[in-house]
Homo-oligomer: A and B are copies of this chain.
Amino acid sequence: MDERVREHAEVLVDWSARVEAGDDVVVSVGPDAHELAVAVAEELGERGANLLATYSSDEITRAYLRAHEGEFDEAAHEKALLEEADVYLSLGGGRNTSATADVSSETRRNHREARREIREQRYDTRWVSTYHPTRSLAQQAEMAYEEYQEFAYDAILRDWESFAEEMARMKDLLDEGSEVRLVSEDTDLTMRIDDRTAVNSAASVAYDSHNLPSGEVFTAPYATEGEVTFDVPMTLRGETVRNVRLEFEDGDVVDYEAEQGESVVGDILDTDEGASRLGELGIGMNRAIDRYTDNIMFDEKMGDTVHLAVGRAYDACLPDGESGNDSAVHVDMITDVSEDSRLEIDGEVVQRDGEFRWE
């Protein structure tokens, strides 16, 4: 086995999920993530944790969803599993990133809505999502397989502890601030962040961070005003989406357009009330991610980018007991801030053309 696969498993189990003896761990395995699952199983065995592997295949989901008619039930057995789980590790990695392209958006929406409580249960665990670099992900990134492996492991196998110290500077600025303004070509957006706590997303549940790789600082903005253009392309629900422009008034999206994939954007915004408000403002700081690979978990952490998500806000950003924006969706969109851009907090520039104030 490639030594990097073992290192990936070790970072995931130790740094990211903080697995301990006796933990009940669910490992969700993508069809091509088998090798990483084997390495994770070894780490879990060494720590005396309990392992149940689930199988997460988009082809199975597609077959099930297309055959299903009418309302979806909540799956009581899956809910019971997650209620008892301490840790949930998602090892993504399929064979075709477009495997669910022909499932209708209405069916997806109904299915997502029926699974709301199951998702909440998962968010109550020490959950971490990661990807095993597969050929399908390499293809999505328009990269050769070995080239993609190097890219992915550079982003994943970092010295997370010292990286966390660097990101703490950005967190402190956001925690002390009240208003954020993002200015770039075709973008001038203000958001309130009073009383919100930024997450130093250092790829560990100990930092309220649930992605590996991570490398961003994010918070939960509100009262958004102005307009923003997301110039980094992405694939949403199997379709390419380019140059999405959103216009906000009093926190809500009042107008949207996109050069490509506009109907997907419309479907997402229509999911529920919270889907047309922001749930997240994130500052990408992982400079090992130096190119766009059309995988949101990597893209949104890219150095010199800022992303915003419509939909669900993360509890970690909110004052205790306060519920932020709620939605069945959380969809991130990204804008490049490496040129002709500035990010201000309470009128002070904290990042200009990609460079942070302390650099």
Contacts and interface: CB of A to CB of B under 8 A. Distances in A.
Nearest to A72: B50
Q: Can you tell how many copies of this chain the complex includes?
A: 2
Interface stretch (A40-48, A172-180, A231-239, A274-282): A40-48
A52 B80 contact: no
Interface in A199-250: none
A77 B38 contact: no
Interface in A30-86: 31, 34, 37-39, 41-46, 48, 50-57, 59-61, 63-70, 72-86
Given A29-B55, A31-B34, A38-B63, A81 B73 contact: no
Most chain B beta-carbon neighbours within 10 Å: one of A77, A80, A86: A77
Contacts of A65: 45
Contacts of A48: 68-70, 73
B64 A41 contact: yes
A332 interface: no
A65 to B, nearest CB: 7
Nearest to A82: B77
A26 interface: yes
A39 B54 contact: no
A22 interface: yes
Most chain B beta-carbon neighbours within 10 Å: one of A45, A48, A79: A45
Contacts of A64: 41-42, 44-45, 51
A50 to B, nearest CB: 4
Contacts of A42: 63-64, 66-67
A44 B26 CA distance: 23
A29 to B, nearest CB: 5
A45 B66 contact: yes
Contact of A76 (B70, B72, B77, B84): B84
A34 B52 contact: no
20 contacts: A24-B75, A34-B57, A37-B55, A38-B57, A38-B59, A38-B60, A41-B60, A41-B64, A42-B64, A50-B72, A50-B75, A50-B77, A51-B64, A53-B55, A53-B57, A53-B60, A77-B82, A77-B86, A80-B81, A80-B83
Contacts of A51: 60, 64, 75
A73 to B, nearest CB: 5
B68 A45 contact: yes
A298 B321 CA distance: 58
A50 B24 contact: no
Contacts of A59: 34, 38
Contact of A68 (B46, B54, B67, B85): B46
B38 A50 contact: no
B57 A37 contact: yes
Most chain B beta-carbon neighbours within 10 Å: one of A50, A69, A85: A50
A77 to B, nearest CB: 4
Given A41-B60, A48-B69, A51-B60, 7 more contacts: A24-B78, A41-B61, A44-B64, A52-B75, A52-B77, A53-B54, A55-B55
A56 B41 CA distance: 12
A73 B26 CA distance: 15
Contacts of A75: 24, 50-52
